Structure 1
Amino acid sequence: MQVQLIRHATLLVKAAGKTLLVDPMLAPHGQYDPVPRSANQIRIPLVDLPLPSDELPGLLASVDAVLLTHTHADHWDPVAQQLLDKSLPILCQPADTETVRAQGFTHVQPIETQLDWEGIRINRTGGQHGTGEIGQMMGAVSGFVLEADGQRLYLAGDTIWCEEVSQALDQYRPDAVVLNAGGARFLQGDPIVMTAAEVAQVARHAPQAAVYAVHLETVNHSAEDRAATKSSLAQAGLSARAHVPADGEWLPLPRLV
């Protein structure tokens, strides 16, 4: 299994001879208004994609399916919806099925609990996109555990540390975990995705796993950048196992033994 961080939560996952595009946000730098009710009003994405624009069509042509944790605009943006072939399989949580179909996609496959797709087993997991009233307003979110090529990869999605994450780690014992970090938050309320301290908590809870913190330095309501996340993980003594990849980087997943 191979995983590349494109930007934010957008990943390429190559497994069982197939290529999945996860949570595509494909707009160029500054195309969208900032996330409202945030500490600053900087247009997003804060950075460009880490590849020339003329290479994007080739990348998208290589994709066999799209996997969506949820349909917030920083995970499923209008540019991605415009550029992707409408007949491409879109694998998603049940709550988003009709939304994606209404956007013109003709091959939408909801994952209730588990889906065996082209040699990849996809297990849907739960999460909490914040706490209290804000968490309820953010709506349903999912994570996914992918099993292929003798490896398990847990994509936690937009969630804070919670019972659902703990249960997924205990049930699946993944070899690698990708966490949406940055501690994004609004002017009121708690973070709606993991902070660096929660990334460390995941790493301590799953000592067998390599942990990767993504979802950084792309949206204006994130409170923690890569430098702060790396520093926090180093102070916790977790730098050897908890990583903060750069945009465009292939993640060095643990080798099979």
Structure 2
Amino acid sequence: MKIHQIRNATLTVTFGGKRFLVDPYLAEKDAYPGFDGTVNSEIRQPRVALRTPMDRILDFDALILTHLHPDHFDAAAVALLPRDKPVFVQNYSDAELIKAMGFTDVRPLGIETRFGEITLSRTRGQHGSDQAYVYGAERLGSVMGVVFRAAGEKTLYLAGDTVWNQMVATNLDMFAPDVIVLAAGDAQVPGLGSIIMGAADVKTVHDAAPTAQIIASHMETVNHCVLSRAGLQDFAVRNGMTERLWIPEDDEILEF
């Protein structure tokens, strides 16, 4: 497999002979205001420009949308993406919204969904703590992760926008992934706390999956992500995590 870190949570995953574009956030630098009610909301976003040429980003076989927050599927992506490629989403509600935008082949993921020789499995996650969902469930919404499996490939677990919780622990036990991609930028909402993983959660995954290679994504692009790559790298050095933790720069490709 190859995992191409594009920007934020946007990735291209080459797996089982197919190329998947994940959570495209394709606007030019500073196109949007910061998210209201979040940390550093005065900062415009995306905070950095795309480094990957657009024609390469748009060269894919299928699209995966883990959820529809605008830093995972923005207006620029809606305008640029071809309408006839398969789109995998978390549920029928998201599918109807995507179909209404003119996409013609939209498929909610199940426990085992086939795409060519690849099996895709929807996994559960939670975009914040249990307490955050008491007060902010409507805003945080539902999210999914995806497990990729195919003959001759290592098992990949793309966790999506989730914090560490029992759902993630169950996914690790059930699928025993060899490679794990985490949303690791520690996005913060005052009153709700962290809504994706920070350094401590990354360490918890690292310790819970002692043979897996871990990739930190969703960093240094949106206004409310407060954990930098340098900060996570320093934490990894201090906690003996550097042999199995990868923190790719934008436009970097990792191969496993």
User: What's the TM-score bracket when you normalise by the shorter of the two chains?
Assistant: over 0.9
SS in 1 for 2:216: strand
Provide the residue aligned with 2:167 in structure 1. 164
C-alpha distance after superposition, 1:226-252 (max 9, x if no partner): 111111121111111112111111124
1:68 shift after superposition: 1.0
Partners of 2:13 and 2:56 in 1: CA distance: 16
Q: Deviations over 1:97-142 (max 9, x none)?
A: 1111111111101113220101111011000101222245311100
Contact kept? 1:111, 1:124, Cα under 8 Å: yes
The answer to whether structure 1 residue 193 and structure 2 residue 196 are counterparts is: yes
The residue identity in structure 2 corresponding to 1:137 is R
Q: Is 1:100 paired with 2:98?
A: yes
Q: Give the whole-Å Cα distance in 2 for the aligned partners of 1:59 and 1:44.
A: 19
Distance 1:58 1:240 in 2: 30
CA RMSD of aligned residues (A): 1.2
**Partner Cα distance (1:153, 1:68) in 2:** 16
Shift of the 36–239 alpha-carbon distance from structure 1 to 2, 3 Å rule, reads: same
Tell me which amino acid in the other structure corresponds to 1:198.
D
Match of 2:119 in 1: 121
CA contact (8 A) 1:184 1:191 kept: yes
Correspondence 1:105-254 to 2 at 5 A: 105-131=103-129, 132=131, 133-135=135-137, 137-148=139-150, 149-253=152-256
- SS of the aligned residue for 1:168 comes to helix
Letter in 2 for 1:14: T
What's the TM-score, normalizing by structure 2?
A: 0.94
SS of corresponding position for 1:233: helix
C-alpha distance 188-97 of structure 1, shift in aligned 2 (>3 A): same
CA distance in 1, matches of 2:48, 2:115: 33
Cα distance between partner residues in 2 of 1:76 and 1:15: 22
Distance 1:234 1:116 in 2: 39
Secondary structure of the structure 1 residue equivalent to 2:234: helix
SS in 2 for 1:211: strand
**Contact 2:15–2:153 at 8 Å: present in 1 too?**
no
Letter of the 1:68 partner, please give it: L
Aligned to 2:19: 19
**Preserved CA contact (<8 Å) 1:113 1:123:** yes
Query: Which runs of 5 or more structure 1 residues have no equivalent in the other structure?
Result: none
Among the aligned pairs, what percent are the same residue?
A: 40
2:9 & 2:45 partners in 1: Cα distance? 14
Cα distance, 1:23 vs structure 2: 0.6
Instruction: Say if 2:47 is the partner of 1:49.
Output: no
SS at match of 1:151: coil
Match of 1:85 in 2: 82
Counterpart Cα distance in 2 of 1:16 and 1:189: 39
Query: 1 CA distance for matches of 2:89 and 2:170?
Result: 21
Secondary structure of 1:145 counterpart: strand
| Partners of 1:135 and 1:190 in 2: CA distance | 13
**Residues 177 and 210, structure 1, Cα contact 8 Å, conserved in 2:** yes
Post-superposition shift, 1:208? 1.2
User: Structure 2 counterpart of 1:45, which letter?
Assistant: P
Structure 1: 4+ residue segments shifted above 3 A: none
Q: Give how far 1:57 is off.
A: 2.4
Query: Any stretches of 5+ residues in structure 2 without a counterpart?
Result: none
Tell me if the contact between 1:173 and 1:208 (Cα under 8 Å) persists in the aligned partners.
no
Aligned counterpart, 1:29 = 29
Report the 3-state secondary structure (helix = DSSP H, G, I; strand = E; otherwise coil) of the residue aligned with 1:39: coil
Aligned pairs, how many? 249
Give the secondary structure class of the aligned counterpart of 2:28: coil
CA distance 1:208–1:50, shift in 2 (3 Å) = same
* Distance in 2 of aligned mates of 1:71 and 1:237: 35
Structure 2 counterpart of 1:76 = 73
Residue 63 (str. 1) matches residue 65 (str. 2): no
